Amino acid sequence: MSAPLLSRRDLEFYLYELFEVETLASRERYADHNRESFNAAMDIAEKLAEEYFVPIRAKVDMNQPDWDGEKVIMIPEIKRAYDAVAEAGLICPDQDYDMGGMQLPLVVSACAMGYLTAAASTTNGFHALTAANANLLETHGTQEQIDTWVSRLRTGEFAGTMALSEPQAGSSLADMRTKAVPQADGTYRLFGNKIWISGGDHELSSNIVHAVLARIEGAPPGVKGISLFICPKFLLNDDGSLGARNDVQLAGLFHKMGGRGQTSTALNFGENDGAVAYLVGEPHQGLKYMFHMMNEARVMVGTSGATLAMCGYQYSLEYARERPQGRKPSSKDPLSEPVMLIEHADIRRMLLAQKAYAEGSWSLCLFASQLVDDWKTHPEESGRQAAFELLDFLTPIVKTWPSEYGPKANDLAIQVLGGAGYTNDHPVELMYRDNRLNPIHEGTTGIQSLDLLGRKVPQNGMAGYQRCIEGISADLQKAEGIRALVTMCDALDLAVKDLQRTTTSLLSAMTSQDIDLVMANSVRYLEFFGHVVVGWMWLRQGMTAAKALEKASDDDAFYKGKVQAMNYFARWELPQTAVWADLLCGLDDTTYAMQAEWF
Amino acid sequence: MSAPLLSRRDLEFYLYELFEVETLASRERYADHNRESFNAAMDIAEKLAEEYFVPIRAKVDMNQPDWDGEKVIMIPEIKRAYDAVAEAGLICPDQDYDMGGMQLPLVVSACAMGYLTAAASTTNGFHALTAANANLLETHGTQEQIDTWVSRLRTGEFAGTMALSEPQAGSSLADMRTKAVPQADGTYRLFGNKIWISGGDHELSSNIVHAVLARIEGAPPGVKGISLFICPKFLLNDDGSLGARNDVQLAGLFHKMGGRGQTSTALNFGENDGAVAYLVGEPHQGLKYMFHMMNEARVMVGTSGATLAMCGYQYSLEYARERPQGRKPSSKDPLSEPVMLIEHADIRRMLLAQKAYAEGSWSLCLFASQLVDDWKTHPEESGRQAAFELLDFLTPIVKTWPSEYGPKANDLAIQVLGGAGYTNDHPVELMYRDNRLNPIHEGTTGIQSLDLLGRKVPQNGMAGYQRCIEGISADLQKAEGIRALVTMCDALDLAVKDLQRTTTSLLSAMTSQDIDLVMANSVRYLEFFGHVVVGWMWLRQGMTAAKALEKASDDDAFYKGKVQAMNYFARWELPQTAVWADLLCGLDDTTYAMQAEWF
Instruction: Give residue-wise pLDDT tens across range B534-553.
Output: 999 999 999 999 999 999 88
* Radius of gyration for the alpha carbons in chain B, expressed in angstroms and rounded: 24
Is B293 part of a structural domain of the chain? no
Is B431 part of a structural domain of the chain? no
**What average pLDDT score do residues A199-210 get?**
97
Is A418's CB within 8 Å of B171's CB? yes
Is B422's CB within 8 Å of A595's CB? no
The dihedral through the CA atoms of B555, B561, B563, B566 has a sign that is negative
What CATH number has the domain bearing residue B108? 1.10.540.10
A90 and A229: one domain? no
pLDDT of B577: 98
B459 and B569: one domain? yes
* Residue that finishes a domain, picked among B78, B104, B137: B137
How large a percentage of chain A has pLDDT more than 70? 100
Instruction: For residue A151, count other CB atoms closer than 10 A to its CB.
Output: 16
A125 and A179: one domain? no
* Residue that finishes a domain, picked among B284, B311, B343: B284
What CATH number has the domain bearing residue B273? 2.40.110.20
Contacts of B222 in chain A (CB under 8 A): 334-335
Task: Among B444, B557, B596, select the one facing A415 at the smallest CB separation.
Answer: B444
Nearest CA in chain A to B337: A175
Instruction: Give residue-wise pLDDT tens across range A264-289.
Output: 999 999 999 999 999 999 999 999 99
B83 and B185: one domain? no
Instruction: Give residue-wise pLDDT tens across range A437-496.
Output: 999 999 999 999 999 999 999 999 999 999 999 999 999 999 999 999 999 999 999 999
**What average pLDDT score do residues A217-241 get?**
97
Instruction: Give residue-wise pLDDT tens across range B420-458.
Output: 999 999 999 999 999 999 999 999 999 999 999 999 999
Is a pLDDT exceeding 90 seen at residue B2? no
pLDDT of A295: 85
Best residue in A594, A595, A597 for a mutation probing chain B (most B CBs within 10 Å): A594
Is B341 part of a structural domain of the chain? no
Residue length of chain B: 599
Task: Among B329, B560, B594, select the one facing A519 at the smallest CB separation.
Answer: B329
A162 and A85: one domain? no
B173 and B91: one domain? no
Is A94 part of a structural domain of the chain? yes
d(CA B186, CA B180): 12
Task: Among A172, A349, A419, select the one facing B196 at the smallest CB separation.
Answer: A419
Instruction: Give residue-wise pLDDT tens across range A389-440.
Output: 999 999 999 999 999 999 999 999 999 999 999 999 999 999 999 999 999 9
Is B511 part of a structural domain of the chain? yes
Contacts of A195 in chain B (CB under 8 A): 419
pLDDT of B110: 96
* Residue that finishes a domain, picked among A284, A306, A330: A284
Is B422's CB within 8 Å of A256's CB? yes
Contacts of B223 in chain A (CB under 8 A): 334
A387-420 burial, b at 16+ Cβ within 10 Å, e below that, comes to bbbbbbbbbbbbbbbbbbbbbbbbbbbbbbbbbb
Instruction: Give residue-wise pLDDT tens across range A292-334.
Output: 788 888 999 999 999 999 999 999 999 999 999 999 999 878 8
B53 and B169: one domain? no
Nearest CA distance, B174 vs chain A (angstrom): 6
B130 and B172: one domain? no
Is B347 part of a structural domain of the chain? no
pLDDT of B326: 93
Contacts of A422 in chain B (CB under 8 A): 256-259, 436-437, 440
Is A329's CB within 8 Å of B516's CB? yes
B505 and B555: one domain? yes
Contacts of B336 (CB under 8 A, 6+ apart): B327
Task: Among B352, B432, B582, select the one facing A594 at the smallest CB separation.
Answer: B352
**A2 band by pLDDT with thresholds 50, 70 and 90:** confident
Please tell me whether residue B211 adopts helix, strand or coil conformation.
strand
The dihedral through the CA atoms of B316, B318, B321, B324 has a sign that is negative
**What average pLDDT score do residues A522-529 get?**
98
**A100 band by pLDDT with thresholds 50, 70 and 90:** confident
d(CA A411, CA A305): 13
**What average pLDDT score do residues A133-144 get?**
95
Q: How many domains does chain B have?
A: 3
Residue from B363, B348, B506 nearest B412 by CA: B348
pLDDT of B8: 98
B169 and B219: one domain? yes
B573 and B449: one domain? yes
Instruction: Give residue-wise pLDDT tens across range B105-141.
Output: 999 999 999 999 999 878 889 999 999 999 999 999 9
Is A582 part of a structural domain of the chain? yes
Is B345's CB within 8 Å of A520's CB? yes
Is A340's CB within 8 Å of B596's CB? yes
Is a pLDDT exceeding 90 seen at residue A98? no
- For A246-301, give the DSSP string: PSEEEEEE--BSS-TTS-EEEEEE-SSS-EEEEEESSTT-HHHHHHHHHHHHHHHH
pLDDT of A296: 85
Nearest CA distance, B419 vs chain A (angstrom): 6
A62 and A164: one domain? no
Is B560 part of a structural domain of the chain? yes
> How far, CA to CA in Å, does A333 sit from each of A326, A327, B326, B448, B514?
10, 9, 62, 20, 17
Q: What is the span of the domain harbouring residue A61?
A: 8-137
Is A515's CB within 8 Å of B352's CB? no
